[in-house]
Amino acid sequence: MNYDKRRIEMIRSLYPAGSRIELISLCNYEEGMPVGLRGTVVGVDDQPALLMNWDNGRTLSVLIDKDIFRKLTPQEVDQEKLEKSRSYNLFKTYVERIEKNILSKMDFKEYMKALNENDTLYLAELLKQFHDEFDTVYETEVVENEFEWVSVPAVIKARDSGKLTLGLVNLDLTERAEHVYTSFITPNGLYHHITDDVPDDLADFILPFIPYDYYYTIEIPHDIHVDMNCMPDEVRRIIGYCNKVYFEGDIDYYIY
């Protein structure tokens, strides 16, 4: 055994228990150990080798000098945690259902016509489909603190022009529903506007609405960032069509 105490301590400092690594190749073929497999470091022995718990249930150790692997970055570890969270899984399911059940069947030209003509009935009926899909996936119309974050159907109103469009707003529920980003409806489906950059082919469908205010159809009682009692009348008519709690009076055919 090639025992080098200082080297082993260095390796332990580089790969403390809990570190996440990704396999690139093994010095000897092992069935069930594919390239790209990820796992969690349990410890370091005196060979030195990393003692592992692999995501597929295996516990094969990794030889430092012979096997090839890489340590996941902090950003990759955060992404893994996000993807394993209930919030992410529900969001993914919700977006997939919107894309499949609504946007794939929508006539985008009719949508743009409705925006240009401020056809609130068309917008209300479309947003109601988004709202109903939310209710199906999340099984609620009232969101408290049971999720870390959530994407909710919303009316987006441009501050400069006053024009309306529809989309999803992503809210951080650990920060009293602070806005994270907005997903806009485009000819290519939902575009998640996370950074300031917008693809050239989508600029005409997004940039005219920035900056904007938003109003959502779901109830979020602890939101301190949006006052749903101060919705513009035309927005209230659309939101109220989707969720009666936001409408003052009878909403049947009251859209115009």
Q: What is the 3-state secondary structure (H, E, C) of 203-216?
A: HHHHHHHCCEEEEE
The torsion of the CA quartet 236, 237, 242, 248, rounded to 10 degrees, works out to: 70
In this prediction, residue 250 carries a pLDDT of: 40
Task: Find residue 175's DSSP bridge partners.
Answer: none
Per-run averaged pLDDT (10 residues), the chain, 256 residues: 77 95 93 91 93 91 95 92 85 95 96 96 97 97 87 97 96 89 94 89 93 96 91 94 78 38
Residue partners of 168: CB distance under 8 A and separation at least 6: 95, 98, 130, 151, 152, 153, 154, 182, 183, 190
> Do 217 and 243 contact (CB within 8 A), yes or no?
yes
Report yes or no: 129 and 243 within 8 Å, Cβ to Cβ: no
The tokens of 76 are what? Answer: 């990759």
- In the prediction, which pLDDT does 72 show? 96
pLDDT of 88: 87
For 5-77, CATH gives: 2.30.30.30
Q: Which two tokens stand for residue 241?
A: 């069509």
Q: Residue 175 has what pLDDT?
A: 83
Q: Domains of the chain: which residue ranges?
A: 5-77, 86-246
Q: State the pLDDT at residue 85.
A: 86
Q: How far is CA 73 from the centre of its chain?
A: 20
